[in-house]
Amino acid sequence: MSTAPNKIFIARLLGLDVFDPMGDRLGRVRDIVVLKGSFVADQATRAIPGKEPVVVGIVIEVLGKKRIFVPMTRVTSIDSTQVISTGLVNLRRFEQRGSEALVVAELFDRKVRLEDGSGEATIEDVAMEQRRNGDWIISELFVSRGTGQSGLMRRRQQTLVVDWNEAVISTDHEPQAATSFVATHENSQAADLADALHEMNDKRMIEVAQELQDERLADVMQELPEDDQVEILSHLDLERAAQVLEEMEPDDAADLLNELSDAQREELLQLMDVEEADDVRRLLEYEEGTAGSLMNPVPVILPPEATVAEALAHIRQEEISPAMAAAVLVTRPPQETPTGKYLGMVHMQQLLRVPPSVQVGTLLDSSIEPVSDMSSLEELSRVLATYDLTILPVVNDSNRLVGAVTIDDVLDALLPDDWRTYDDGTPIRKVGRRYE
């Protein structure tokens, strides 16, 4: 293993790419695993001198946001820009053992008492250092503490680096209460809150999820990987699980139910509102990758006699996504899917250009043909790209509208499972640690 540098702060490793010797990317660093026994405190909650925690491996996130364990014996090079491992990794999902501790999850933000008598501080970062024999240990803590007067005088933050053996780690550390966490993130985007939940261990993730309102939880779950969705759903009581599924978009609810056993799926469908369950059941009948499996069965549908004013009122509804609001679909009665005969679509821009009293049936875009509910993902992609569309009507073999596919539905199916993790190659999770 490379010995230069022989010390590195762990916050700098978070989000770094992990490569195999051929240069192929395996995943990204998410945490460091140490042996818990090497820093079990004694009766005085004092770190045992000469027993610095031994680093045994790293947790990396691979495709599909699955986390796996890579032993340090498989790491051939580690620095502040990348991690190189042998290509031999076990892709089994990481499960923490009782003898192990996660540095980021369990040490960051923990309180310590400094041995020099200067008071308490908070761990902001942790340094790992390589010994001559090649082993890595936890050697230093980067901590912060308030200085100056409190009250009317603003406290200033002082940061310093202390040796591992110069701090007494508090045993009273508790994560922020789930209710407080939810209140703190009340205004966060669903995708951002989903990322925060994904960073948590399963127990913590479930605690926070259970504190969210049904609609909020549904929005967040739609942004999570399937493993996390199933984990959360399985820890909700059946009545609440059914209510959350009702709040999800039907296509997302169908995808989640597909991950369950037949018995579990049917039990939840029986508890759901009949109309909501019927929408989901129709989607479950389609083969994966077809327009029918990807579509939303409840787009904005109006009769030809409806006015522009009515159409605009429908697409202004808060629960209508921007992609779904890009057009209204016009059919003969009934207007619930499967509808009467499909007549055509009217783009939102066209609605904005004509008087409110005009009937939508006079504004139909006859150049856009609907796609069959059995159309493939490749065909959907081609039509959306060819005509620069954000929404496509989906009909059955009787030309009855059964739903609509939006550009985000297709992108979700086309992009890698871990696409939400990165933004132009930069980790979504921002780590703002400073070093002295």
CATH number at residue 22: 2.30.30.240
| pLDDT the model gives residue 2 | 44
CB 301 within 8 A of CB 329: yes
SS3 at position 71? strand
User: What value, to the nearest 5°, has the Cα angle with vertex 149 and ends 143 and 154?
Assistant: 80
Q: Residue 217: which CATH number?
A: 1.25.60.10
| 279 and 307 inside one domain | no
Residue 366 lies in a domain: yes
| 277 and 318 inside one domain | no
> How far is it, in rounded angstroms, from Cα 157 to Cα 163?
19
| 324 and 407 inside one domain | yes
- Percent of the chain predicted with pLDDT > 90: 48
| 281 and 319 inside one domain | no
**Residues 153, 159, 165, 169: what is their CA dihedral angle, to the nearest 10 degrees?**
50
Determine if residue 425 is left, alpha or beta; phi over 0 gives left, psi from -120 to 50 gives alpha, anything else beta. left
**pTM, rounded to two decimals:** 0.57
| pLDDT the model gives residue 43 | 39
Burial of 391 (0-12, 13-18, 19+ CB in 10 A): buried
CB 257 within 8 A of CB 269: yes
> How far is it, in rounded angstroms, from Cα 165 to Cα 163?
5
Residues in a beta bridge with 134: none
| 20 and 130 inside one domain | yes
Contacts of 203 (CB under 8 A, 6+ apart): none
> How far is it, in rounded angstroms, from Cα 323 to Cα 392?
10
> How far is it, in rounded angstroms, from Cα 196 to Cα 330?
41
Contacts of 301 (CB under 8 A, 6+ apart): 328, 329, 330, 331, 335, 336, 337, 339, 401
CB 53 within 8 A of CB 138: yes
| pLDDT the model gives residue 365 | 93
**Nearest partner of 168 among 103, 130, 131, 123, judged by Cα:** 123
Q: What is the DSSP letter of 182?
A: H
Residue 428 lies in a domain: no
Long-range pairs for 186-194 at CB < 8 Å and ≥24 separation?
190/216, 190/219, 190/220, 190/222, 190/223, 191/223, 191/420, 192/428, 193/220, 193/223, 194/220, 194/221, 194/223, 194/224, 194/420
Residue 115 lies in a domain: no
Q: Residue 318: which CATH number?
A: 3.10.580.10
| 20 and 135 inside one domain | yes
| 217 and 310 inside one domain | no
> How far is it, in rounded angstroms, from Cα 6 to Cα 179?
41
Domain edge (last residue) among 229, 255, 285? 285
Domain edge (last residue) among 250, 285, 320? 285
Task: Give the phi and the psi of residue 323 in degrees, each rounded to 5.
Answer: -65, -40
H or E stretch at 393: strand 391-395
pLDDT in tens, 338-368: 999 999 999 999 999 999 999 999 999 988 9
| 260 and 384 inside one domain | no
Residue 28 lies in a domain: yes
| 281 and 397 inside one domain | no
Residue 389 lies in a domain: yes
| pLDDT the model gives residue 424 | 38
Max Cα-Cα span within the chain: 83
Long-range pairs for 130-135 at CB < 8 Å and ≥24 separation?
130/1, 130/3, 130/6, 130/7, 134/1, 134/3, 135/54, 135/55, 135/72
| pLDDT the model gives residue 377 | 92
**Residues 82, 175, 226, 396: what is their CA dihedral angle, to the nearest 10 degrees?**
-120
> How far is it, in rounded angstroms, from Cα 103 to Cα 53?
10
Task: Give the count of domains, the chain.
Answer: 3
SS3 at position 60? strand
| 307 and 368 inside one domain | yes
- Tell me the CA end-to-end span of the chain in Å, nearest whole number: 27
Residue 369 lies in a domain: yes
> How far is it, in rounded angstroms, from Cα 163 to Cα 184?
33
| pLDDT the model gives residue 37 | 63
> How far is it, in rounded angstroms, from Cα 349 to Cα 390?
13
**Residues in the chain, pLDDT under 70:** 1-5, 37-50, 64-65, 146-156, 170-177, 180, 184, 416-436
Residue 436 lies in a domain: no
Task: Classify each residue of 339-352 as buried b or exposed e, where b means 16 or more C-beta atoms within 10 Å of its C-beta.
Answer: bbebbbbbbbebbe
Instruction: Provide the domain limits for residue 327.
Output: 301-414
Residue 400 lies in a domain: yes
User: Read out DSSP for 127-181?
Assistant: EEEE-TTS-EEEEEEEEEEEES--TTSPPEEEEEEEEGGGEEE-S---PPPHHHH
| 279 and 207 inside one domain | yes
| 340 and 381 inside one domain | yes
